[in-house]
């Protein structure tokens, strides 16, 4: 014998539904179980959704880290490329400067050689001389006579032995000027007491003249060589 838990009416044996209020405990239990199942399913869905959101967040985090690493690698590559270009530009500038220095050196060397060649050419605007006439029968002896012309009165030798040799006659004229200069300088040195200075000057010009003659160069003596030429 049972009574309804809702209204308290008597429920006959073998019946589960209250005849007074129609309450069915088994149906109510099934409804509660169904409701509990729905809640469990909703909780599972919520847990799955939370797991998916967590997975999405992790995926976004990893993608962001990958993007940052890619940006850092790109920045490092750009920095290395900039340094490489700067080093290449510096090497190019150094190479250009070296080429410019080589060009200037070559130009200076060319000018020096031209000056050296002009010093051995015939008389020009720079008062530079070189013997280019035909040699007489004396051959290389012309240089010896030319060199002897700077020793006192020996300047007369070329006029005597090689009168056709313009090279020897040139140095003979220079020797004559040196001889006259020596006479005047000796007189002035004796009066002023600076004879040793005059002696040094004469020795220097003798050395200069003989050196030019032996090297085949027609070059006037310093200070006195061009006197009377113009």
Is 75 exposed, middle or buried, given 0-12, 13-18 or 19+ CB atoms closer than 10 A?
A: exposed
Distance between CA atoms of residues 28 and 41, nearest Å: 20
Q: Is residue 16 part of a domain?
A: no
In this predicted structure, the answer to whether residue 174 has a pLDDT above a threshold of 90 is yes
Q: Does any domain span residue 107?
A: no
Mean pLDDT value of segment 124-145? 49
pLDDT at 134: 37
Count of domains observed in the chain: 1
Asked, for residue 170, whether it belongs to a domain, the answer is: yes
- 173-177 contacts, C-beta under 8 A, 24 or more apart: 174/149, 174/150, 174/209, 174/220, 174/221, 174/225, 175/149, 175/150, 175/151, 175/209, 176/149, 177/221, 177/224, 177/225, 177/227, 177/228
Element (H, E) at 59: helix 25-118
Domain membership of residue 95 (yes or no) is: no
Which three-class secondary structure state does DSSP give residue 94? Answer: helix
Residue that wins the pLDDT comparison between 192 and 15: 192
Q: Is residue 99 part of a domain?
A: no
**Residue 150 belongs to a domain:** yes
**Residue 122 confidence (pLDDT) above 60:** no
Return the closest-CA partner of residue 26 out of 35, 36, 16, 18.
16
In angstroms, the CA 43 to CA 52 distance is 14
Most confident range, picked from 36-45, 66-75, 117-126: 66-75
Is the CA virtual torsion 80, 85, 91, 93 positive or negative?
negative
Pairing status of strand 129-130 against strand 10-11:
unpaired
- Residue 222's pLDDT is what? 87
**DSSP character at residue 57:** H
Between 194 and 183, name the one with better pLDDT.
183
Mean pLDDT of 102-129: 68
Going by pLDDT thresholds of 50, 70 and 90, the confidence category of residue 10 is low
Lowest-confidence range among 10-14, 152-156, 168-172, 225-229? 10-14
- Asked if the structure places residue 175 within a domain, the reply is yes
Q: Looking at the domain assignment, is residue 64 inside a domain? A: no
Range of the structural domain that residue 140 is part of: 131-218
pTM greater than the 0.75 cutoff: no
């Amino acid at each position: 014998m049972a009574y309804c838990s809702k209204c308290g009416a008597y429920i006959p044996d073998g019946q589960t539904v209250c005849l007074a209020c129609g309450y069915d405990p088994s149906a109510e239990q099934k409804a509660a179980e169904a409701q509990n199942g729905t809640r469990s399913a909703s909780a599972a869905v919520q847990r799955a959704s939370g797991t998916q959101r967590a997975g999405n967040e992790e995926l976004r985090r990893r993608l962001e880290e990958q993007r940052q690493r890619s940006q850092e690698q790109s920045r490092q590559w750009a920095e290395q490329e900039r340094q490489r270009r700067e080093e290449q530009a510096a090497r190019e500038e150094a190479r250009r400067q070296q080429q410019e220095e080589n060009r200037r050196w070559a130009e200076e060397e060319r000018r020096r050689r031209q000056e050296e060649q002009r010093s051995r050419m015939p008389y020009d605007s720079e008062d530079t001389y070189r013997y280019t006439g035909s040699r007489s029968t004396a051959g290389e002896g012309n240089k010896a006579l030319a060199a002897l012309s700077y020793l006192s009165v020996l300047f007369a030798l070329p006029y005597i032995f090689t009168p056709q040799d313009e090279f020897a006659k040139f140095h003979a004229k220079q020797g004559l000027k040196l001889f006259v200069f020596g006479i005047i300088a000796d007189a002035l040195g004796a009066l002023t007491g600076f004879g040793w200075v005059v002696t040094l000057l004469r020795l220097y010009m003798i050395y200069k003249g003989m050196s030019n003659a032996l090297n085949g160069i027609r070059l006037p003596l310093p200070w006195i060589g061009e006197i009377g030429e113009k």
